[in-house]
Amino acid sequence: MRLYCLPFAGGTASSFVSWRNRVPHVDVRPLEYPGRGGRWNERSAASVRALAESLAADLRPTSAEPYALLGHSFGGLVAFEIARVMRRSGDSLPVRLCLSGARAPHLPLREEIHTLPDEEFLPRLMRYGGVLDEVLRNDDLLELLLPLVRDDFRLFEQHIHCAEEPLPVAISVYGGLRDDAVPMNDILAWREHTTKSFRCRFYPGGHFFLYDAELDVLGDIEDDIVASAPTPS
């Protein structure tokens, strides 16, 4: 079963590379957003919907084979919108959405930070965790990172959720018990967006719990995906 992984704000496909040999029954395939990693020279997307449509076009040639989508934080919203693009275009849907540290898309925005100057934006970003100390101490790395993160926050904060019928796709949600940025109720609210099975699991840790409790998270993701795999005829 292929698992396409969507990174958090400012993240790259490399965020999931270490997973490739740790989930025996899952073919982990990280996706790269335009404007970073191997797609550095491409223009970043104008909106979440445009980003989802672009990534869905990349998946479409192989979408007849069973696949699942996983997104962490901002990537959870992107994964959800990819599934809705696939439904509107009549393509094969993922067998499961795995949404990690992500607020349900219909919830109102709590604050807008992407327009703040760096001296105010960075402290708010640090509340999420995930920014390495060596990056914070290196002005050159920060100069590269902050525009990427800020642009993803722009996409997230300017996204307007359009109500549609719930997806006929099983959804699993995962959260951190000490994640102040995305509390438990914000994650459980994803239940409204599926007509299929809904599973939820919570782990010790903050917003980036999936790396702190990586083995437990990966084991549960694998269990959920394998449970959704089509039965061979």
Of 10, 16, 62, 63, the C-alpha closest to 33 is: 10
Of 100, 123, 122, the C-alpha closest to 179 is: 100
Residue 40: count other Cβ atoms within 10 Å of its Cβ.
10
Alpha-carbon 168 to chain mean position: 19
The sign one gets for the Cα dihedral 54, 55, 56, 58 is positive
The SS3 of residue 132 is: coil
Active site annotation includes 47: no
Residue from 73, 100, 172, 228 carrying the catalytic annotation: 73
Of 65, 32, 69, the C-alpha closest to 221 is: 69
Alpha carbon separation from 131 to 22, 65, 140, 149, 231 (Å, rounded): 24, 36, 14, 11, 41
Structure tokens belonging to residue 42 = 């491409």
Q: Which residues pair with 27 in a beta bridge?
A: 2
Residues assigned a catalytic role: 73
